[in-house]
Chains A and B, each alone.
Chain A
Amino acid sequence: MSVHRAAGARDERLVLRALVIAACLVLGACAQAPSMSEDSPAVSTPSTPTLTVSSGYRNAAIARHSRLAATARDAGDLAEAADHEEVLVLLSPNDPARKRALQSTREAIRRAVRTHAESGSAARRAGDLVSARDAYLRVLALDPDNADAVKALREIDSAVMARSQGERAARVRVPDDVVASAKARPTDALDVDQRIEILRAGDFNAGLRELRSWVDANPGDRATRQRIGAAVAEKARELESKAQRESALGLYDQAGTLAGAPTPEWTTRAQALRKALGEQYYAEGMKVYRTDLDLAIRSFEAGVRYDPSNTTLQLRLREAKLAQQKLQKIGK
């Protein structure tokens, strides 16, 4: 008997457990899915109990948003005040005072938007783009969906940037004497810096072309020209240390031209390089003098071009040319 009762109780528990499982599955699934329309603020569909709720939540919410709305109003933030008042109307749909407060705030917003938009428009007409921008931003702060304000802000910022670009372009093209007397702006210095960096990075063609172009546009800016010359000379010294004498000499020459006049140091270094190149070509010519007369002549000629004062080179060049003439006669 007791066995039967025990078995019955077990079966009852099984059934109960099965029903609980089924209920939980259904509830769990429904809790995951959006089961109500936007119009129904609360549903009676049961779900997994997660919190024992006592009354008073609505009142707590009303108190909180009343406080937030008042704070926003006091701070002059009508848009935020209206948002909290909107929540209050949602929480107390039958309270006419809440609706009136919201309507009043919305009317105040409309008035303020009108005022700011008019002030923005007036500032634009007067060419005061900064004030115009601020006015339209105030419009958007109150009315984020205001497409006119967004359009106006885009136009204003385009005009600000176009003005800035126009000023840069004008400075590039003004006559020399105006540039010379004008105070250099940071952007001018940066333009030059960029050109110098290109040269330093080893793009000699672009670097020198861009620096020449800057000097052509600003021939009277002596200080900057000297800075350019110094940068080019620095690169020349670097090449000189790597025994790239011809490139280094070319850059010393460019440094002098770009700066307006070479420094004594550049002149001395250039002269030394000319002499060294003269001797280098002399040595190369002598190496092939007895085996390749044409190449020797070309080397002596190059040497004389670099150092016309090298009398030994001149002598050797003359000798080589005479020897070449003799050989040509014999050949004929």
Chain B
Amino acid sequence: MRTFSRSAASITRLAAMLAAIALGACVQAPPRDTPQPVPFVPPVAVPDDDGPLLARDSEFAVVVVQPGEDLARLAERWLGDRSRRSVIAEFNHVDEVRAGQTVSIPLRNRNPFGLGTAGVPAITILCYHRFGSRPGSLTVTPAAFEAQMAYLASHGYTVMALDRLPAILEGREPMPRKAVAITIDDGYRSTFEVAYPVLRKHKFPATVFLYSDFVGAGDALNWSQMKEMTASGLVDLQPHSKTHANLTVRQPGESEGRYRERVRREVEAPVDVIKAQLGVPTVSFAFPYGDVNDVVVGELRSKGVKLGVTVTPGGNAFYAPPYMLRRTMIFGSDDMDAFRAKLVTSLPIARR
């Protein structure tokens, strides 16, 4: 009996060793850095023809949904990203899946620009200036700002940092659904006192465009406030010129050379001071009054700036010009209907 028991124990150990060897083989089989989705393995009792993986090529996989699987898990398994569940949902015209249902998974992005019957996905870049209890054309009340941010949060908008936009415009990343970016111009103190706490509450990123000569004026942000906001990782400080002069307008009697030199200073000074004070790289530039010309764009390129924002309202699709991006001003007089109307996250395509 003992002998048999010992041999049983030996067999158990042997089985465990075999399992370990087999495991090792399985682990080594797939290259670690291959971004291929992990395919589903059919159950033991199922014949090849009718298994959960019904068919597959480089474009599609057709699978049978297993118990406990939902769209997010399928997206994670096959597309490597749970958030891409909408790709499977849209292709199959379903909101969710159930066990035993057949589902086709597009393995390659069939619609990289997100074109649909609703139109072209676009991002609205919102432009705020000042916040205060007395609303003005460019002054939004704290209550209105809070309501606007709450609306974005509760209606499925993707509030994204502006510095993600270069990758989208270069076609390296898809445009998120219902995309919005928040920008605040000039560098008013109320950005810190009013807007920042609301942004933090909703975890919304925002870009503050500072004209550097403003620092030190009565109602301007100070560097300590800017440092605190930047350190949060939510707020990005970017240049908005040195003096807020219109960069496309020449001064009376100004020669071409002097004009170019002035534009150079207007771009360079805020870029340098923001970098020195905050250690922040420059990605974008807001043109004073939204006006830009080739001289200004040339200067931005030479400083490595990738985006320029105007104040021409509207949404930006994937084909928007990076140095002439549309930006929509939000006014103190905007009620919620007006605010909603300004959120252009899809550009219509006219029917033939």
Contact = CB atoms under 8 A, between A and B. Distances in A.
A139 B130 CA distance: 43
A126 interface: no
Given A42-B51, A57-B54, A201-B214, A52 B102 contact: no
Q: Residue among A25, A56, A172 with the most chain B CB within 10 A? A: A25
Contact of A154 (B23, B244, B321): B321
A191 interface: yes
B201 interface: no
Contacts of A68: 92-93
A35 B26 contact: yes
Interface in A20-73: 21-23, 25-26, 29-36, 38, 41-58, 60-61, 64-65, 68
Interface stretch (B39-47, B223-231, B256-264): B39-47
Contact of A206 (B30, B39, B243): B243
Given A41-B54, A42-B53, A194-B138, A33 B16 contact: no
B319 A150 contact: yes
Interface string A205-216: 010011001001
A46 B44 contact: yes
Nearest to A14: B8
Contacts of A153: 317, 319
B186 A201 contact: yes
A326 interface: no
A165 B292 contact: yes
Nearest to B38: A34
Nearest to B62: A61
A22 B209 CA distance: 62
A66 B166 CA distance: 40
A58 B9 CA distance: 46
Interface stretch (B107-115, B151-159, B268-276, B336-344): B107-115
Contact of B349 (A25, A138, A203, A206): A138
B104 to A, nearest CB: 5
A53 B43 contact: yes
Contact of A51 (B20, B52, B326): B52
Interface string A183-218: 000010111011001101111001001100100110
Please classify the interface of chain B as helix (H, G, I), strand (E, B), loop, or mixed, using the class held by over half of its residues: loop
Q: Residue among A17, A158, A216 with the most chain B CB within 10 A? A: A158
B43 A213 contact: no
A41 B41 CA distance: 11
Contacts of A50: 43, 66-67
A183 to B, nearest CB: 18
A14 B6 CA distance: 11
Given A4-B1, A26-B19, A154-B319, A58 B53 contact: no
Interface residues of B, number: 105
B233 interface: no
A144 B38 contact: no
Contacts of A203: 213-214, 217, 220, 244
Contacts of B12: 14-15, 17-18
B43 A51 contact: yes
Interface in B310-335: 310-312, 317, 319-321, 324, 326, 329
Given A22-B19, A44-B48, A91-B55, A144 B111 contact: yes
Interface residues of A, number: 95
A325 interface: no
A2 B185 CA distance: 90
Interface in B144-176: 171
B165 to A, nearest CB: 14
B255 interface: no
Contacts of B329: 190
B1 A7 contact: yes
Contact of B4 (A11, A141, A202): A11
Nearest to B7: A11
B15 A19 contact: yes
Contact of B218 (A44, A154, A201, A206): A201
A83 interface: yes
Given A29-B23, A190-B329, A194-B129, A144 B48 contact: no
A162 to B, nearest CB: 7
A79 B93 CA distance: 15
A42 B42 contact: yes
Nearest to A153: B319
Nearest to B17: A22
Contacts of A190: 137-138, 289, 311, 329
Given A42-B42, A144-B115, 6 more contacts: A15-B8, A29-B27, A83-B91, A154-B319, A190-B329, A197-B136
25 contacts: A15-B11, A21-B16, A29-B22, A29-B26, A35-B29, A35-B39, A41-B57, A48-B43, A50-B66, A56-B50, A61-B62, A79-B110, A90-B60, A91-B62, A137-B115, A137-B120, A141-B349, A157-B321, A161-B324, A165-B291, A165-B312, A172-B249, A194-B138, A197-B186, A217-B249
